[in-house]
A = this chain, B = another copy of it.
Amino acid sequence: MTGLNKILLSEKDIPEEWYNIQADMPKPCLPALHPGTGKPIGPEALAPIFPEALINQEVSKEGFIRIPEEVRDVYKLWRPTPLYRAYFFERLLDTPARVYYKYEGVSPSGSHKPNTAVPQAYYNKAEGVKRLTTETGAGQWGSALSFACQHFGLGLEVYMVRVSYDQKPYRKLLMNTWGAEVIASPSDRTESGKRVLARDPDSPGSLGIAISEAVERAAKDDDTKYSLGSVLNHVLMHQTIIGLEAVKQMEIAGEIPDVVIAPFGGGSNFAGIAFPFLRLNLTQGMNIRCIAIEPASCPKLTKGEFRYDFGDTVGLTPLLPMYTLGHNFIPPPIHAGGLRYHGAGVIVSQLYKDNLIEARAVQQLACFEAGVLFAKAEGIIPAPEATHAIAAVIEEAKRAKEEGKPKIILFNLCGHGHFDMSAYDAYFAGKLTNHYLTEEELTANLRELGTPVINL
Contacts and interface: CB of A to CB of B under 8 A. Distances in A.
Contacts of A169: 421, 425
Interface residues of A, number: 44
Copies of this chain in its oligomeric complex: 2
A231 B176 CA distance: 36
A60 to B, nearest CB: 27
A77 B379 contact: yes
A76 B6 contact: yes
Nearest to A85: B76
A5 B376 CA distance: 31
A147 B376 CA distance: 7
A147 B379 contact: yes
A288 interface: no
Contacts of A5: 11, 73, 76-77
Interface string A421-442: 1101100100000000000000
A380 B147 CA distance: 10
Contact of A375 (B73, B106, B178): B178
A358 interface: no
Contacts of A357: none
Contacts of A425: 169-170, 173
Nearest to A4: B11
A109 B376 CA distance: 12
A108 B417 CA distance: 12
29 contacts: A1-B73, A4-B10, A4-B11, A5-B76, A6-B11, A6-B76, A8-B8, A77-B88, A77-B378, A77-B379, A78-B379, A106-B106, A107-B379, A108-B380, A110-B418, A147-B379, A169-B425, A170-B421, A170-B422, A173-B421, A173-B428, A174-B381, A176-B428, A177-B375, A177-B376, A177-B381, A178-B375, A179-B376, A416-B418
B376 A150 contact: yes
A376 B150 CA distance: 7
Interface in A369-384: 372, 375-376, 378-381
Contacts of A416: 418
A1 B69 CA distance: 9
